[in-house]
Structure 1
Amino acid sequence: MSDWDAHEFTAAAGTRVHAAVLGPAGVPEVVCVHGLGCSYRYWLPFARALAPDARTVAVDLPGFGRTPGPPVPLDVHGLSLALADWLRATGRRPVPLVANSTGCQLVVDLAAHAPELIGPVVLNGPTFDRHARSAGRQAVRLLCDTRWERPGLGIALALSYADCGLPRAWRTFRHQLHDPVERKLHHLRTPTVVVRGTHDPVVPRAWAEEFTEMLPRARLAEVPGAGHTLNYSAPAELARITRGLLERAF
């Protein structure tokens, strides 16, 4: 996908962190935090939907997309530390964050050690449901989700998984599967919207409600007829929710 306005490369987190940028200068910036094995690629529909009201910055965390990673894949805390270092290096503080799937876990972990970096937050499809913490159950849920996603998502994900490699994706998944995100939610004290598609099998409504109730300043929003990856398959709806949060915050 080559329709981004610019690509940044910043020395941070012991590597050269890549971020794709779309949107005019002089408007609020939004930093996007990708999910497992993903990259900047699948944020493009959301970035287009959010422009020109916001400037979208889709960062590739170490080992994913166009950002080199260490030989041993980072766990949730390691990835959130890398995100914090990049935010400081680029002068983005506090900044609105929009995360998808396991990226939500990184934002919650970030709130536990660097709350000063975080502005209002949108958490799309926060993982993992603590009542279904097994690789098998999550694999089945992901397979069930494919019918609710746009066909082009498969191409974007295939390219992103080719970037990181299946071994890194698997080891990262094992770290994230056992991350006790529910124990850290009280640290995220900025205005937050938890978002799920009504057909999202990865994040059942009961888990989304439980997750939202544990956050100090959050509300739950649902997108009718959508699945797990709203930033790609329902970008206009996710952009509308994000825009509303930004309008109240700024």
Structure 2
Amino acid sequence: MAAGYRMASWSTGSTAVTPVVCVHGAGTSSRPLLPLVERLGKSVETWAVDLPGFGQSSRPAEPLDLTALGETLADWLEAVELPPACLLGSSFGCQVVTEVAVRHPDRVRSLVLVGPTTDPAARTWPRTVLRWLRDSVRESPRMLPLKLADYRDCGAGGVLFAFGESLRDRIEDRLPAVTVPTLVVRGERDMVVSHSWAEEVSRLVPGARLATVPNSPHMVPFREPEALAALVTEFVRQDADADG
């Protein structure tokens, strides 16, 4: 339980390295992240969590806005008694984890922002829908049934509200306030997040670096989990080594 909500979570792996907590995107659940969780768990303690209103977690009476999602995630981190963790956000999950990093820096060791939304150039419904449609033809066909199941579980209203939050949020306003080591990751063939926007995100976060995963569209955790797991493992280990 966190903030009064039952939150479904999965964990695997157990090492002395910083734990990694994976946070899903708008309207979806942890299902598309599980290929990454499985591979990351071979080298670091790895968690995936469904935010309230998504996947197998509790359904609030009304969808939670971005601030409430961030507060609930921070409460969950405390409830499961994790040490300061590496929060890995996928898509809209990047907006949630940066909220936690700015408001609760004591609970965050580092950030991995995979395909961070939303590019200011795409903050209208027509533009964002067009980008998602262009990207969808590049995604693995195995992801389609997972997304349809997630959208069914979330409900049309929940999906639209979550995407609306991703468009309303000005993530660029809080990125300069992030004080933890940050890795920004973009798929080379991502049609949702432009290369110029990924570069801007990495520029706005002090000390952040940008990595590109070859041949991957937007959903890098599902399409290229091995490559992403290698990047994340190296990142958290280097961060741990920096402390001696």
Q: TM-score, normalised by structure 1?
A: 0.92
Quote the residue 2:200 is aligned against: 210
1:64 and 2:45 equivalent? no
Contact 2:51–2:57, Cα closer than 8 Å, also in 1: yes
Contact 2:17–2:236, Cα closer than 8 Å, also in 1: no
Report the Cα offset of residue 85 of structure 1. Answer: 0.7
Unaligned runs of 5+ in 1: 1-10
Partner amino acid for 2:67? H
Report the Cα offset of residue 247 of structure 1. Answer: 1.1
1:129 and 2:119 equivalent? yes
In terms of mean alpha carbon deviation, does 123-132 or 146-155 score higher? 146-155
Report the Cα offset of residue 52 of structure 1. Answer: 1.4
Report the Cα offset of residue 224 of structure 1. Answer: 1.3
Quote the residue 1:148 is aligned against: 138
Contact 1:84–1:110, Cα closer than 8 Å, also in 2: yes
Where does 1:9-48 land on structure 2 (aligned, <5 Å)?
A: 11-24=1-14, 28-48=18-38
Could you tell me the percent identity over the aligned residues?
Answer: 39
Partner amino acid for 1:212? S
Where does 1:97-136 land on structure 2 (aligned, <5 Å)?
A: 97-136=87-126
User: Within 1, Cα distance between the matches of 2:214 and 2:165?
Assistant: 31
Partner amino acid for 2:81? G
Quote the residue 2:166 is aligned against: 176
Deviation by residue 1:172-217 (Cα, 9 ceiling, x = unmatched): 2112211011000012111111000111111100111111100012
Name whichever structure is richer in strand by fraction.
1
Quote the residue 2:234 is aligned against: 244
Runs of 4+ aligned structure 1 residues displaced above 3 Å come to: 24-28
SS in 2 for 1:97: strand
Partner amino acid for 1:54? V
User: Within 1, Cα distance between the matches of 2:129 and 2:143?
Assistant: 17
Partner amino acid for 1:40? S
User: Within 2, Cα distance between the matches of 1:88 and 1:102?
Assistant: 22
Partner amino acid for 1:184? R
CA pair 25-244 structure 1, distance change in 2 beyond 3 A: closer
User: Within 2, Cα distance between the matches of 1:28 and 1:48?
Assistant: 16
Contact 1:32–1:58, Cα closer than 8 Å, also in 2: yes
User: Within 2, Cα distance between the matches of 1:172 and 1:28?
Assistant: 29
SS in 2 for 1:119: strand
Where does 1:79-98 land on structure 2 (aligned, <5 Å)?
A: 79-98=69-88
SS in 2 for 1:149: coil
CA pair 26-169 structure 1, distance change in 2 beyond 3 A: same
Figure out how many residues of one structure are paired with residues of the other and give that number: 240
Report the Cα offset of residue 28 of structure 1. Answer: 4.0
Partner amino acid for 1:130? P
Contact 2:17–2:237, Cα closer than 8 Å, also in 1: no
Quote the residue 1:4 is aligned against: none
For residue 234 of structure 1, the aligned residue among 205, 216, 224 is 224
Contact 2:187–2:213, Cα closer than 8 Å, also in 1: yes
User: Within 2, Cα distance between the matches of 1:26 and 1:204?
Assistant: 36
User: Within 2, Cα distance between the matches of 1:26 and 1:214?
Assistant: 30
Report the Cα offset of residue 42 of structure 1. Answer: 1.1
Unaligned runs of 5+ in 2: none
